[in-house]
A and B are shown apart, each in its own frame.
Chain A
Amino acid sequence: MKFEVHLDSVTGKTRHVVDLEKDGTVSLDGQPVDADVVLAAPNAVSVLINGTAFEIHIAPSLNGTYKLQTGPHEFQADVRDPRAWRGGKQGALEAEGRQQIIAPMPGKVIRLLVNAGDEVEAGQGLVVVEAMKMQNEIRSPKKGRVERLQAKEGQAVNAGDVLAWVE
């Protein structure tokens, strides 16, 4: 599920694209992020990014936006509805050029879903990495051809290791 998030804080306004994959992987602005996200308590979302812990407290605000609070910092967030937004703009979000496929978390490659040279669709699974007893499917950010497959079944990987390239 892709979301366009507009953040407004004392330091200024920013726009981000957050992709929450069905397998639990997260990418931010097209880059995979080692992030674990859970609802820790009512209106409290816990986010672990590379182990750094954030607790974001969320309350609905005016005009359907959200008020976010973490420690002394506050953000106003406008999250665009993914279905309404997917409409005409999806092409603009698809990654362009040669893409590195990176392991978002440390784990073990348990299955290769494609072979080098295969044609793949955007969003198609390439490699399955198991971490914390969870199987995470690493997907292609674009339609194209698997140029090279670096990952091998059974291989241990660290966060940031290159698994494949898609041309």
Chain B
Amino acid sequence: MFRKILIANRGEIAVRILRACREMGIPSVCVFSEVDRTALHVRLADEAYPIGPAPSRESYLRIDKLIDVARRSGCDAIHPGYGFLAENPALPRACTDAGITFIGPPPETMELMGSKTAGKQLARRADVPTVPGTDEPIENAEDAQSLARTMGYPVVLKAVAGGGGKGIRVVKEDEAFASAWRDASSEALNAFGDARVFLEKYLDSPRHIEIQIFADSHGRVVSLGERECSVQRRHQKVIEEAPSTVVTPELRRKMGEAAVRLARAGGYLNAGTVEFLVDASLNFYFLEVNTRLQVEHPVTEQVTGLDLVKLQIAIAAGHRLPFAWETITPRGHAMEVRLYAEDPDNNFFPCPGKILARRIATGPGIRLDEGVYRGWVVPIEYDPLLSKLIAWGNSREETIARLRRALDEYTITGIRTNVSLFRSILAEPEFLRGEIHTRWLDELLARPRPPAVPPRPGTEAAAAIAAAYWESIQPANPSRDGQANTEATSRWKQEGRRAQVDRQP
């Protein structure tokens, strides 16, 4: 096993990895940028070292500094978490050069499976279904149109150099093809200096369902089942759950086998996720591979009882996977929401700032993975993910009830969060019936909102009384964040008691 592990990340995932190390009795080393000196992962750390200014390209993305800290502190392994350098093959290469183990797949596998086009070609070789379409750009509009007719509408035109939704056109009928082709090509030329376009079958309301895989260095590859992540806002996952409401044991077996075939074909090692789109007829199509631990990994942990981070560490240390995939059956149901410091009433604008107070959610079936605390200032420099709130129960219904209950308990004062978004999603009949797809949330948010649930009788009176009371306990010179000092907290009642005592004969 490893002597010491460097955690090359920050926030909740750094805390998550630190906890796994501590449970395994492995000392860990944290790193921090200038604004993260008091971040939770540093407060909990065994050892912590500064790696530079706030911008991540000058700190958390600096491979040279990370390797230097690892060497100086005597680490023999690096865990990259997710984001930052987790899918950058340069980090495992630098680790190899420094004689340090990278907890993840080898760099060649990352390159082979991480790229969308290379991954798609690998999937074809491994007999894993992909979205019908061309791998190569199409030269002229006529060829493209005849191909579209063969494939059947709707189809989607995508810029080869694409990204950020530019150079993409959905074509629903043959008559619209020519103009869509012109639009996509010229937009691609303007945006990327490259007019080349390729063609894919357009899936109407697909679900995003992904398979968690694990591969050890002894040739065993297993599937840990699926997670459904169809609730997305602008292609960003918002709610994840396992199992999926549409995946039957038969489909789970088929998707799991396909994911394992792909992993074997790519010489995969450690944890990975194979993402699929699933259409209304339950056909599944390979989308891409994430060659790292996922944000939503706790969902799989709750239905399998496994600790994926500890498994990652054990596999990187050369241990064998302790189970066969046939033995993995999801138990119960789990669901995760990602709580962000952002304002759902203002186009999800990030709202970092100081957390004045917090009431956390606990109790049966609730897990909170987070990197925040009361008094901490959420920095503006990074992804404003505050907490992952995970609920699990015997059924999807019980899990949703627990999640709703926990969202009512969880309160953050001082900054805005997207908690109201989850309250509305968890009240939507379509969501409760599991009728979701990757554009469902964007469509929901575009619809007029249902009227707000009226507050309980007495709420307004309570608010008025609380506001007056709060004003009455403010010190004459309040501190800048408006915190009342405890001396002043019951001034008006204390005065009252004193007055009564004075009156006693």
- Where the two chains meet, the residues of A that have a C-beta atom closer than 8 Å to any C-beta of B are 1, 3, 5, 7, 9-11, 14, 16, 18, 20-24, 26, 28, 33, 35, 37-39, 41-45, 47, 49-50, 52, 54-60, 66, 68-73, 75, 77, 79, 81-82, 128, 134-135, 137
Partner among B356, B495, B499 whose Cβ is within 8 Å of the Cβ of A59: B356
Which residues of chain B in 346-362 are interfacial with respect to chain A, using CB atoms and an 8 Å cutoff? 356-357, 359
User: Which of B359, B456, B469, B482 has a CB less than 8 Å from the CB of A20?
Assistant: B469
User: Which residue of B is nearest A3, CB measured?
Assistant: B468
Contact A1 B492 (CB under 8 A): yes
Task: Show 17 A/B contacts (Cβ-Cβ < 8 Å), sorted by A.
Answer: A1-B492, A7-B460, A16-B461, A23-B496, A23-B499, A44-B411, A47-B462, A54-B458, A54-B459, A54-B466, A58-B470, A59-B357, A59-B413, A68-B463, A70-B459, A71-B408, A79-B470
Instruction: Return the contact of B458 from the options A9, A44, A49 (Cβ within 8 A).
Output: A49
For chain B, the bracket of interface size reads 35 or more
Q: Do B413 and A54 have beta carbons less than 8 Å apart?
A: no
User: Chain A residues with Cβ under 8 A from B176's Cβ?
Assistant: none
CB of B447 within 8 A of chain A?
no
Within 8 Å by CB of B462, from A39, A42, A54, lies A54
Query: How many A-B contacts at CB < 8 Å in the complex?
Result: 158
CB distance from B372 to the nearest CB of A (A): 15
The 4 closest A-B pairs by CB, nearest first: A60-B482, A22-B496, A18-B468, A56-B466
**Is B489 a contact partner of A39 (Cβ separation < 8 A)?**
yes
The yes or no answer to B304 lying at the interface (CB within 8 A) is no
What are the residues of chain A within 8 A of B481 when measuring CB–CB?
Answer: 60
Residue of A nearest to B501 (CB): A135
Q: Chain B's nearest CB lies how many Å from the CB of A6? A: 9
CB distance from B497 to the nearest CB of A (A): 8
**B500 with A75: CB separation less than 8 A:** no
B463 near A70 (CB under 8 angstroms)? yes
Shortest CB–CB separation between residue B319 and chain A, in angstroms? 45
Could you tell me the distance between the alpha carbons of A71 and B455 in the complex, rounded to whole angstroms? 9
Query: Given the known A-B contacts A7-B460, A137-B500, are A66 and B411 also in contact in the complex, defined by CB atoms under 8 Å?
Result: no
Q: Is B414 an interface residue (CB 8 A)?
A: yes
B374 within 8 A of A: yes
* Inter-chain contacts of A82 with B (CB < 8 A): 471-472
B235 lies within 8 A of chain A by Cβ: no
Q: When the two chains form their complex, are residues A52 and B456 in contact, meaning their CB atoms are under 8 A apart? A: yes
Q: Is the CB of B455 within 8 A of A73?
A: yes
Q: How far is the CA of A45 from the CA of B466 in the complex (A)?
A: 6
Contact present for A28 and B459 (CB under 8 Å): no
If A39-B489, A43-B413, A73-B459 touch, whether A28 touches B466 (CB-CB below 8 Å) is: no
Minimum CB–CB distance from A79 to chain B (whole Å) comes to: 4
How far apart are the CA atoms of A49 and B456 in the complex, in Å? 12
- Provide the bound-state CA to CA distance between A1 and B374, in Å: 31
Beyond A16-B461, A73-B459, 9 additional contacts (C-beta under 8 Å) are: A14-B460, A23-B499, A28-B465, A43-B482, A49-B461, A49-B465, A54-B459, A59-B357, A135-B500
State whether A45 touches B455 (Cβ < 8 A): no
Shortest C-beta distance, A14 to chain B (Å), equals 7
**Distance between Cα atoms of A73 and B460 in the complex (Å):** 10
Task: From B458, B468, B472, name the one whose CB has the most chain A CB atoms within 10 angstroms.
Answer: B468
On chain B, the residues within 8 Å of A49 by CB distance are: 458, 461-462, 465
Partner of A70, one of B462, B490, B497: B462
| Contact yes or no, A72 B469, CB < 8 A | no
Asked if B96 is an interface residue, CB under 8 A from chain A, the answer is no
